[in-house]
Amino acid sequence: MLDATQALTVLAEVADDRARVVLDARLAAIADDLRGNPWFRPGELPDTHFMRFVIIDDPRGELPPLLAWESNHDRATDAYLAEIARGVPTIERVFECCAGYPPGLIADVDAWVAWMKRHAYPAGAFYTSYRGVPRARILNDRDVHAAIRDVIDGDDRIELGGLPPAEIQRRICAEVKRRRPDLDCSATIDREAQWRTAVLAVLAIVALAVVAGLIALPCVAGAGWAALPLALVVAGVAGYGALRRREATDLASAYVRPVDVVAAVRDVEDQVAQNQLTHLVDLKPGAFRLALLWIVLKGINLLARFYFVHGALGGITAIHFARWVILRDRRPGVPKRHRLLFFSNYDGSWESYLGEFIDRAAAGLTAVWSNTRGFPATERLLGEGARDEEAFKQWTREHQLATQVWWSGVPDSTVQNILDDLWIRGRLDRGLADAELATWLRKL
């Protein structure tokens, strides 16, 4: 499961105005008929949880339009892309509208994979509620849960009700295996993954210590490493002072009325149990904000990988996948306009999602987006900011992008559904203590 639930973000310039017209038409056709359109069918992608295509325009006209492809997938990136090239070559109908894309490139699998990787951007932070769980396991466990319900709701329901709990579990397990031999009902505990996660957590802490030491190295030079703790304190105080000076002078957007929601954004929301959000905003100018954002995202990424691993990000239980990607402006000779791109796949409505963010993770939100333009005024990196609910929601709407194509590989399942299915299947064929057995029966 090490290669499950990976994040891939590919961004490429749209070739020209003519290619843009073609791309718009093709993405619209794909979105109108995800299963039967003549261009590209997302459901044919291998081992994919969620994916989207988004055209990123620059309202100021300074930066070229980009096609963004976000995929949350299983397998290592090279193997995933190679399988797409061999099995879903129609994806080329989308990317052939991009600048520098050679016609028929996908026929050369290695060259196509290399092109895609050259245009891939790393996630500054990446979170999933069920890290390391392949989509195949999710679908299997959903079907196991459904098969259990069929057994319980069948003709033997009355007889089962009079049996001891352990015997109920045993009979359910035997009957599911008899009816659905195609399903994996085995009880699994990935102890290797648990051991690996613990080792990686220790290595991450060591890496952070090394990075902190390197940052403070100029302060240590000539004084010896014994001065490192003092140097770290001095560096921290200096950084805090720089942050407070900027917070005192940063401009925040003043909202006196709700921002109009673009119809292309509003019309695709709340169609199913799941929703998506694509958000793009400029960073505040200067290297300080870019560096501070990078540090904050690395901290969130570590927490998402080693601490928030039980289905909730800072108490938020509705997020399937989320990622932040820094788009660096590498144009020479002009003031830099770095941007922050955010993708989220979540359960429930936009209002409930943003409300949960504000109620449970306002400090984390503020730590990230206080480094971007127009965000509500903040204090000490973590304070205020997203706690100004109306301003935060309006700011979010102002920078939300229309997503041309969005596809879910588990459209009928909430995060809680998936976690329950995994938990139930994992204990179906295993002896349980009385308390855990009682919980297992209640979850059915």
The DSSP line for 64-120 is --EEEEEEEESS-HHHHHHHHHHH-GGGHHHHTTBTT--TTGGGSHHHHHHHHHHTB
Give percent helix, percent strand, percent coil of the chain, each to the nearest 5.
Answer: 50, 15, 35
Angle (CA) 143 149 153, round 5°: 145
- Please determine, for residue 226, whether its predicted confidence score (pLDDT) is greater than 70: no
Provide the pLDDT for residue 40: 97
Provide the pLDDT for residue 248: 64
Provide the pLDDT for residue 240: 59
Provide the pLDDT for residue 379: 77
Distance CA 438, CA 123 (A): 41
- Please determine, for residue 114, whether its predicted confidence score (pLDDT) is greater than 60: yes
**pTM to 2 decimal places:** 0.88
- Please determine, for residue 199, whether its predicted confidence score (pLDDT) is greater than 50: yes
Segment among 281-285, 314-318, 325-329, 338-342 with least mean pLDDT: 314-318
Mean pLDDT of the chain: 86
Q: Which of 94, 53, 61, 72 is nearest to 6 (CA)?
A: 72
Give exposure, 383-397, as e/b (b: 16+ Cβ within 10 Å): bbbbbbeebbbbbbb
- Give the mean pLDDT of 43-65: 96
Return the half-sphere exposure (C-beta side, CA atoms, 13 A cut-off) of residue 211.
11
- Give the mean pLDDT of 136-150: 95
- Give the mean pLDDT of 190-206: 52
Provide the pLDDT for residue 276: 96
Which residues, in sequence order, are CB contacts of 119 under 8 Å at separation 6+? 10, 11, 12
The residue ranking higher by pLDDT, 209 or 19, is: 19
Helix (H), strand (E), coil (C) string for 112-153: HHHHHHHCECCCCEEEECCCCCCHHHHHHHHHHHHHHHHHHC
Q: Tell me the pLDDT tens digit for each residue of 416-426.
A: 999 999 999 99
Provide the pLDDT for residue 386: 81
pLDDT band at 228 (very low <50, low <70, confident <90, very high): very low
Residue 51 burial (CB < 10 Å; 0-12/13-18/19+)? buried
The residue ranking higher by pLDDT, 108 or 435, is: 108
The residue ranking higher by pLDDT, 148 or 237, is: 148
Provide the pLDDT for residue 264: 78
- Please determine, for residue 266, whether its predicted confidence score (pLDDT) is greater than 80: no
- Give the mean pLDDT of 177-197: 72
Provide the pLDDT for residue 103: 93
Distance CA 34, CA 268 (A): 14
The residue ranking higher by pLDDT, 193 or 154, is: 154
pLDDT band at 216 (very low <50, low <70, confident <90, very high): very low
Segment among 59-63, 183-187, 400-404 with least mean pLDDT: 183-187
Provide the pLDDT for residue 245: 65
Written as six digits, the tokens of 276 are: 């998506």
- Give the mean pLDDT of 62-77: 97
Inter-residue contact 1 to 133 (CB < 8 Å): yes
- Please determine, for residue 192, whether its predicted confidence score (pLDDT) is greater than 60: no
pLDDT band at 232 (very low <50, low <70, confident <90, very high): very low
Written as six digits, the tokens of 185 are: 């009902």
- Give the mean pLDDT of 29-46: 96
Please tell us whether the domain made up of 1-121 is placed in CATH 3.30.420. Answer: no
Coil/strand/helix, residue 410: coil
- Give the mean pLDDT of 14-24: 97
Inter-residue contact 136 to 47 (CB < 8 Å): yes
The CATH 3.30.70 domain(s) of the chain lie at: 1-121
Provide the pLDDT for residue 362: 85
